[in-house]
């Protein structure tokens, strides 16, 4: 055994230098030469300013933009904390959401849950729905939906709120991705959102829908993966073609 210690130590060091320092250094050098844009993160510049990366999703909440998928990365699209929700199919938290107390003892949303996402997706995009209790009962003094009240209603043991969309919801619109940084949504999800965005930008929905296919990738080589729409690139194009009137 002792005779084997020498080569063990030496080969550990040799492999560290070869595969741990030389190999990544050389690969970095070659990548910089051959694929400089990709090697440095596929960053996108608009008007001289870096606004993001084509590969990394970013949060959009305003009605005039296409919205990305829900994200479990940090507080949402945190590119220093990629993550999925890791909640399983029988998780009450995943379906109904949870609330918590903040520092000032106000009850706030801890996790939104798929039910609440469906409510917002239906209301925002004017999708027909059926609700066991009229949604007006969950509005606050400003007339906005109170998420905390809704989550509590979904979690009610005796008479839970039952909310059903009456047109099929694309699953990617209400589920969190694996990375929390998914740059894409499905074409179906983009089309469902088009009417809302057209209204916010004062253009016709048909005009706006024509833009979607330009930012849709079909399956690679015709059979690999799924059709997908790049949200950031589509939203940049929106701002250029149909700027929001201020």
Give the DSSP H/E element, type plus range, for residue 165.
strand 163-165
Binding residues among 154-193 for other proteins as defined by CB under 8 A = 163-172, 174-189, 191
Decide whether 31 or 137 has the Cβ nearer to other proteins: 31
Binding residues among 11-70 for other proteins as defined by CB under 8 A = 11-16, 18-21, 23-24, 27-28, 30-32, 34-35, 38-43, 46, 49-62, 65, 69
Q: Are 118 and 98 in contact (CB under 8 A)?
A: no
Q: Which residue in this structure is represented by tokens 């993001």?
A: 52
Q: Which of 145, 150, 135, 157 is nearest to 99 (CA)?
A: 150
Q: What is the largest CA-CA distance in the chain?
A: 80
Decide whether 38 or 140 has the Cβ nearer to other proteins: 38
Can residue 214 be called a binding residue for other proteins (CB under 8 A)? no
Decide whether 62 or 241 has the Cβ nearer to other proteins: 62
- The CB-of-202 to other proteins minimum distance in angstroms stands at 19
Q: Which of 89, 105, 136, 144 binds other proteins (CB under 8 A)?
A: 89
Decide whether 40 or 207 has the Cβ nearer to other proteins: 40
Binding residues among 106-135 for other proteins as defined by CB under 8 A = 114-115, 118, 129
Helix (H, G, I), strand (E, B) or coil at 138: helix
Please tell me the total number of residues recorded for the chain in this structure.
Answer: 246
Residue 123 β-bridge partners: none
Q: Which of 106, 143, 224, 245 binds other proteins (CB under 8 A)?
A: 224
Distance in Å from the first CA to the final CA of the chain: 78
């Amino acid at each position: 055994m002792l005779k084997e210690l020498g080569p063990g130590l030496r080969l550990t060091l040799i492999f560290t230098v070869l595969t741990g320092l030389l190999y990544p250094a050389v690969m970095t050098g070659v990548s910089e030469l051959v694929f400089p844009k990709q090697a440095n993160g596929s960053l996108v510049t608009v008007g001289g300013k870096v606004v993001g990366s084509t590969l990394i999703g970013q949060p959009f909440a305003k009605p005039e933009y296409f919205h990305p998928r829900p994200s479990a990365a940090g507080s949402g699209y945190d590119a220093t904390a990629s993550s999925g929700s890791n909640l399983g199919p029988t998780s009450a938290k995943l379906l109904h959401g949870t609330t918590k107390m903040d520092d000032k003892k106000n009850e706030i949303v801890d996790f939104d849950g798929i039910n609440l996402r469906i409510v917002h997706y239906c209301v925002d995009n004017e999708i027909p729905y059926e609700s066991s209790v009229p949604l007006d009962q969950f509005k606050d003094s400003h007339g906005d939906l109170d998420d905390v009240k809704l989550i509590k209603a979904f979690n009610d043991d005796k008479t839970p709120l039952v909310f059903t969309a009456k047109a099929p919801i694309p699953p990617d619109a209400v589920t969190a991705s694996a990375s929390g940084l998914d740059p894409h949504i499905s074409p179906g999800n983009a089309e469902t959102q088009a009417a809302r965005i057209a209204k916010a930008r004062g253009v016709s929905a048909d005009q706006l829908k024509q833009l979607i296919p330009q930012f849709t990738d079909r399956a690679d080589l015709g059979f690999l993966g799924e059709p997908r729409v790049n949200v950031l690139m589509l939203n940049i194009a929106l701002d250029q073609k149909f700027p929001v009137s201020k």
